[in-house]
Homo-oligomer: A and B are copies of this chain.
Amino acid sequence: MDSVTLRACTGSAFSLCAGSAIRISSTSGAQVVDFWAVNPADPDECLSMEHTRTSLSRITPRRGDELFSNRRRPILTMIEDTSPGRHDTLIAACDPERYRQLGVDGYHPSCAENYRVALAAAGVRRSGIPSPFNLFMHVPCDADGQLRFLPTASRPGDYITLRARIDVLVVLSACPMDIDQPHFAGHRPRPSDVDVHVIPGTPG
């Protein structure tokens, strides 16, 4: 099992063969990880939150669920989740404009930039930034449709494992958000490292 540390605030891409899996561990328990998946053989095909919600008739995938591409086929399976299952499919990746609007003067790392850099480093070209699967991000929706941005519900060492159903390029970003925001209700995220394990598939 290959293991790497994804440093706080950074991104990286991981090539998975069909049948292999990726395990993403929140060492602090408090880190959000933005997750994307692109078909490197046809980069127009990517993991799609709107198609996944449609296929599952549910906002958030659970252990055992398939994750669907914009071609409506399952490309990943969530095979493990030791956390309480609070993940987000609704919120856009943070980007330089988000930080500018939050009052940051000058450079701030962002998930959108981490995605772009990791994808380019992997030699994959596609336009736009798909809506991410935000692992461990806790944004419950009340009956009135109001969203609350809460601290992660995960604990130190909680992990989620996704198995690839096709050869796929996974892009991860350890979210660099560290700004006080009114809708964070008093908590301020503290970026931390993430452990990533790529688990080879068992032949045949």
Interface residues on A, range: 35 or more
Give the contacting residue for A145; candidates B51, B60, B95; CB below 8 A.
B60
Bound complex: CA A141 to CA B131 (Å): 19
Q: Which of A109-159 contact B (CB under 8 A)?
A: 126-129, 131, 141-143, 145-149
Cβ A127 vs Cβ B44 within 8 A: yes
Cβ A72 vs Cβ B57 within 8 A: no
**Can you list 30 A-B contacts with CB-CB less than 8 angstroms, sorted by A residue number?**
A44-B127, A44-B128, A49-B50, A50-B90, A50-B91, A50-B92, A53-B90, A53-B92, A53-B147, A54-B90, A54-B92, A57-B183, A58-B147, A59-B141, A59-B145, A59-B147, A60-B145, A70-B92, A70-B128, A71-B97, A72-B95, A72-B97, A72-B98, A72-B101, A126-B127, A127-B127, A128-B128, A141-B141, A141-B145, A143-B143
Residues of B within 8 A of A183 (CB): 57
Residues of B within 8 A of A126 (CB): 127
A48 is an interface residue with CB less than 8 A from chain B: yes
Chain B, residue nearest A51 (CB): B92
Residues of B within 8 A of A71 (CB): 97
